[in-house]
Amino acid sequence: MTETPHTVMAVDVYNDKIKHLLGPEDGQDGNQAWAGRIHFHRLNIKHDSRLEGLIKMSDLTINLAAICTPADYNTRPLDTIYSNFIDALPVVKYCSENGKRLIHFSTCEVYGKTIGSFLPKDHPLRQDPEFYVLKEDVSPCIFGPIEKQRWSYACAKQLIERLVYAEGAENGLEFTIVRPFNWIGPRMDFIPGIDGPSEGVPRVLACFSNNLLRGEPLKLVDGGQSQRTFVYIKDAIEAVLLMIENPSRANGHIFNVGNPNNEVTVKQLAELMIKVYSKVSDEPVLDVPMIDVSSKEFYGEGYDDSDKRIPDMTIINRQLGWNPKTSLSDLLESTLTYQHKTYAEAVKRATSKSVAS
């Protein structure tokens, strides 16, 4: 918003996280570079007659609305399927009917498991990129059985992707689909008991941040052997900005947005976060800094996991010239500095209160 002249109509059920961006009509100071260019509308896209009017007034709709925390996929599968598929339908329909551009946020989870994960553990082909690199126009979507409700999210996202794609093919909808690969950075999710429910389970960055802030061991689900690639939110926003600014190069495409150079196992992520947090907070590392927990204990029945996620960057690089820049250690340093500055005092107060009572 600082770098572009656009006006945004933000639609959500809450505005807690963007309050500082809003103008005087929302009780803020209005001196920012984007003053008067961000308008907030409190409404729920699943049942509000104002939605079509807002889409008609805009050149472009970006749909980010979804339940996208793994702890919900197996415990609230109906909400997960409804929010990711059914509730997105009106947005797709109104864009298509009114000839408006749509950037729809999907997920790298539509790829599911890698082909290589079905090979024996020490099979040499597991090292062959053909068996694990995820390509938008080539890789299949491989999910577990229905009773593994983890895949309710991936399946709903796959179907909405297919619907958006079909609207493009049959009715000429101008669309772009984004598949984020573990975007992380400041302001992600919530810290349980501070700015979110105390029993809530956010994604791994916030879970580990919460453990570090509270001086607790980090919990490695099933040994933390799954692999992820993490991309810094600021790099990812640059990719989205390029999509916004270059419709002719972005329309009709599905883009992986991730950083293939930042791959770690979850255990390695934990080790790095422990080291970086100790540096930025000046607090010593615990004697037992990590513990193993079973996925059943941590997430409940029906959890399953994606084994490995390396995004192929060919299409986004060719169409938009985008490449991620920030290394994992740099992004963790700025993110954990933010977490410490933002939450350390509040966590201390909350812990001393609960000890006193």
Residue 83's nearest CA partner among 159, 30, 20, 31 is 159
CB 234, min distance to ligand UDP, A = 18
State which of positions 142-181 bind ligand UDP (CB under 6 A): none
CB 334, min distance to ligand UDP, A = 18
| Nearest-angstrom CA–CA distance, 29 and 22 | 8
For residue 175, the surrounding DSSP H or E stretch is strand 175-180
| Residues whose CB falls within 8 Å of the CB of residue 354, separated by 6 or more in sequence, listed in order | none
324 binds ligand UDP (CB under 6 A): no
CB 308, min distance to ligand UDP, A = 10
Residue 83's nearest CA partner among 69, 95, 93 is 69
Q: Which stretch binds ligand UDP (CB under 6 A): 111-119, 132-140, 201-209, 229-237?
A: 201-209
203 binds ligand UDP (CB under 6 A): yes
Among 207, 273, 313, 316, binds ligand UDP (CB under 6 A): 207
State which of positions 281-300 bind ligand UDP (CB under 6 A): none
Q: Which of 73, 94, 153, 277 is catalytic?
A: 153
Which own/partner pairs from 168-175 qualify as long-range (CB within 8 Å, at least 24 positions apart)? 168/252, 171/96, 172/99, 173/92, 173/95, 173/96, 173/102, 174/99, 174/100, 174/101, 174/102, 174/247, 174/251, 174/252, 175/95, 175/101, 175/102, 175/103, 175/104, 175/251, 175/252
- CB 39 within 8 Å of CB 30: no
CB 84, min distance to ligand UDP, A = 13
DSSP 308: -
Residues 83-122: x/- map of binding to ligand UDP (CB under 6 A)? --------------------------x-------------
Active site residue 153: yes
332 binds ligand UDP (CB under 6 A): no
CB 76, min distance to ligand UDP, A = 15
Q: Measured from the CB atom, is 34 or 183 closer to ligand UDP?
A: 183
Catalytic residues: 153
Interface residues with ligand UDP (CB under 6 A) are 70, 109, 182, 203-204, 207, 219-221, 224, 226, 228, 266, 305-306
